[in-house]
Amino acid sequence: MSSSAHPLAPADRDTFAALAEPHRRELQLHCYRMLASFDEAQDLVQETFLRAWRSRAGFAGRSTFRAWLYGIATNACLDAIARRSRTFAVAPDAEITWLEPYPDALLDAVPGPDDAVIAKETVELAYLVAIQHMTPRSRAVLILRDVVGLPARETADVLELSVAAVNSALQRARSVLAEQLPAERAEWAPGTDADAAEKALLERYMRATEAVDIESLKQTLAEELRFSMPPEPGVYDGRDGVVDMWVDGGFGTGQWLMRCVVTRVNRQPAVACYAQREGTWRPFTLDVLRIAGGEIAEIVTFPLEDPARYGLPEVLA
């Protein structure tokens, strides 16, 4: 077929945009899963559309246009990971210091073909961290097969692998996922009103944080609490040791008094902390919480550098 007869002919930018733009949100989420970085994912979607435009004559309709775009996005991500590996020496047990949160408002805007694309268990931070421990190609296979829902043959075509290689990589990836995910996944006991229980727990956490009530704060936390602060290295375990570290770092002093606001990222509750600076409450940190067994089992704290991204104000009145 000549390029002039092709539905994505070189001059037909409007046709290309009409086909590609509806997939922007889910492709951004795909790139985010691959890279665990919100900012990089945004850049990679633009790279994907640029590559797709340049190679549009090669789309012969053997797969869906959506699958074709996923193939381009996946390979753009693999290239980005290869570039990143020159900077980050990623061992199997390495910390994911480049991890960034993903606003729930953007997850709600993903017009995917089914709920699997935005399923809670595939966007939580624990899942993102777990899949970063896979080889990039195994990670790609897992996402394309188990999240995006591409058949084995289409996944093989996207990654230029055999179907047997795809199936083998998927088996290895699922094994890594099972090893890396937290053992305790149930947030609340059966029969609990989850929304009400979460709201009450968050209110207790925020109230204790604002009042610098150390004992009340500890009562919201699991004894085996896990804490990290990407992009800073280090993962800390144990409620008492973590809280003592906060206090030693100045938590509760006049310099670090806080006010808190609830938001959501990665289908998880999050608490935005504003610190008082020269009489104004300014963005400080974003605590993303993983709840297990009715307690806060993990806190991942990020710098709150762009509050508008999460629907939060620049300052608190």
- Per-residue pLDDT 10s for the chain (317 aa) are 333 444 554 457 888 888 899 999 999 999 999 999 999 999 999 999 999 999 888 787 677 888 899 999 999 999 999 988 655 544 444 578 899 999 999 998 887 555 667 778 899 999 999 999 999 999 999 999 999 999 999 999 889 899 999 999 999 999 999 999 988 767 888 889 999 999 999 999 999 999 999 999 999 999 999 999 999 999 999 999 999 999 998 887 766 789 999 999 999 999 999 998 888 999 999 999 999 999 999 999 999 999 999 999 999 98
What gap in Å lies between CA 266 and CA 270, rounded to an integer? Answer: 9
Whether 118 and 205 share a structural domain: no
Whether 170 and 246 share a structural domain: no
Q: What is the model's pLDDT at position 255? A: 66
Segments forming the whole domain that contains residue 154: 3-180
Whether 118 and 198 share a structural domain: no
Residue 158 within a domain: yes
- Going from the C-alpha of 242 to that of each of 129, 191, 258, the distances in angstroms are 20, 31, 18
Whether 204 and 294 share a structural domain: yes
Whether 81 and 215 share a structural domain: no
Residue 315 within a domain: no
What gap in Å lies between CA 132 and CA 103, rounded to an integer? Answer: 19
Q: Is 233 exposed, middle or buried (0-12, 13-18, 19+ CB in 10 A)?
A: exposed
What's the whole-model pTM score? 0.90
Q: What is the model's pLDDT at position 14? A: 83
Long-range contacts: 231-238, Cβ < 8 Å, 24+? 231/97, 231/98, 232/97, 233/95, 233/97, 234/95, 235/95
Secondary element (H or E) of residue 48: helix 38-54
Whether 209 and 65 share a structural domain: no
Please list, in sequence order, all residues whose beta carbon lies within 8 angstroms of the beta carbon of residue 61, skipping any fewer than 6 positions away.
none
Residue 186 within a domain: no
Whether 231 and 92 share a structural domain: no
Phi, psi of 186 (to 5 degrees): -75, 125
Q: What is the model's pLDDT at position 225? A: 97
State how many domains the chain has: 2
Say whether 219 sits in a helix, a strand or coil: helix
Residue 185 within a domain: no
CB 283 within 8 A of CB 307: yes
Domain boundary among 120, 145, 180: 180
Whether 127 and 201 share a structural domain: no
Whether 116 and 226 share a structural domain: no
Q: What is the CATH number of the domain that holds 267?
A: 3.10.450.50
Q: Is 52 exposed, middle or buried (0-12, 13-18, 19+ CB in 10 A)?
A: buried
